[in-house]
Structure 1
């Protein structure tokens, strides 16, 4: 009888990413992922609704990090300062030891149009949620949407730089640099 081992979700995620990277997303089955770590396909589906969810699990934590950054700012902060705070909070979600995983995950997503669409949908949902949070703070339109969409764009640019081979800077440092570029373009001062 096999003894239960903790961390099934994490083991499934690591195995799935490795299999997706070596064999391709479409070519890898949930059963193969589970079997590679000594689990059953049924166990896989207890943790994930489908194999795409392996790559997108934790979205709620990612979103929460952005919202925590919004909540951390004083009520009189500018929309762009609030977005900068949300970027700093989200960067904590991506410590340097997560970079290799994120790099491989992004490579897998880039090779599959359906996964690319899912990633874009995730980012669009993030922008909508941040814009809603800004509106709840009293930020009027179009400023709330512009700030939120700009924040997601800054995140995307910073993340792409962070996962590049040879990059050593933290995501927080890169995000600060990219939002600084946005401020230069818009002529706004930082706090």
Structure 2
């Protein structure tokens, strides 16, 4: 038996991921996940409310670290720079879990119910980031747009990191935000001819 809750949670997550990849999400039960982890189903439900949440554990930690980092960012930064600062503070969460992140994304991409849950979790993180920006004095309209755009850049960087592990997540994150600046500059240059 695992000695602590974190070890049990890790074993349940690994077992679920293995089974979802072998059998598919829909054909895997919580009892099978618990058995594969060497635990009972009651232990599963002590850690996760349902079999979808096995893949999303840690989302609340990511949200908390992100909003705290926005609050603690140096003064004078523009909204996207505030978010870049914050995302650089949370990237270790993905880096520390890389063996879980890549197959997790594959399972989510192959499962409509999990893609729906991913969208809900992303909306929650985006709303929290927007509120953190508002608390820093960013106007409501700009805070929402910056949070959505920043999250899209972070997601793009994470996928690029999975696709190209030769560079760090930080390098991909910096590139994604540089690409945003290039897109903005291109759009502004195109508008000057009107």
Q: TM-score, normalised by structure 2?
A: 0.89
RMSD between superposed Cα atoms in Å: 1.7
Contact 1:12 1:34 in 2 (8 A): yes
Pair 101,137 (structure 1): closer, same or farther in 2 beyond 3 Å: same
Runs ≥4 in structure 1, deviation > 2 angstroms? 3-6, 97-100
3-state SS of 1:183 partner: helix
**Residues 20-35 of structure 1 correspond to what in structure 2 (within 5 A)?**
20-35=20-35
3-state SS of 1:163 partner: helix
Structure 1: gaps spanning 5 or more residues = none
**Residues 99-178 of structure 1 correspond to what in structure 2 (within 5 A)?**
99-164=98-163, 166-178=164-176
3-state SS of 1:133 partner: helix
> How many Å apart are 1:73 and its aligned residue?
1.4
Contact 1:109 1:115 in 2 (8 A): yes
The equivalent of 2:87 in structure 1 is 87
3-state SS of 2:42 partner: helix
Distance in 1 (alpha carbons) for counterparts of 2:55 and 2:129: 22
Distance in 1 (alpha carbons) for counterparts of 2:116 and 2:23: 21
> How many Å apart are 1:4 and its aligned residue?
5.6
Pair 173,68 (structure 1): closer, same or farther in 2 beyond 3 Å: farther
Contact 1:127 1:152 in 2 (8 A): yes
CA displacement, residues 66-97 of structure 1 (integer Å, 9 cap, x when unaligned): 113212312322111101111111212122x5
Distance in 2 (alpha carbons) for counterparts of 1:4 and 1:118: 29
Paired residues, number: 184
CA displacement, residues 19-63 of structure 1 (integer Å, 9 cap, x when unaligned): 111111111110011111221111111111111110011111111
> Hey, which of these two has a bigger chunk of helix by percent?
2
Distance in 2 (alpha carbons) for counterparts of 1:4 and 1:65: 27
The equivalent of 2:68 in structure 1 is 68
The equivalent of 2:191 in structure 1 is none
Distance in 2 (alpha carbons) for counterparts of 1:84 and 1:4: 38
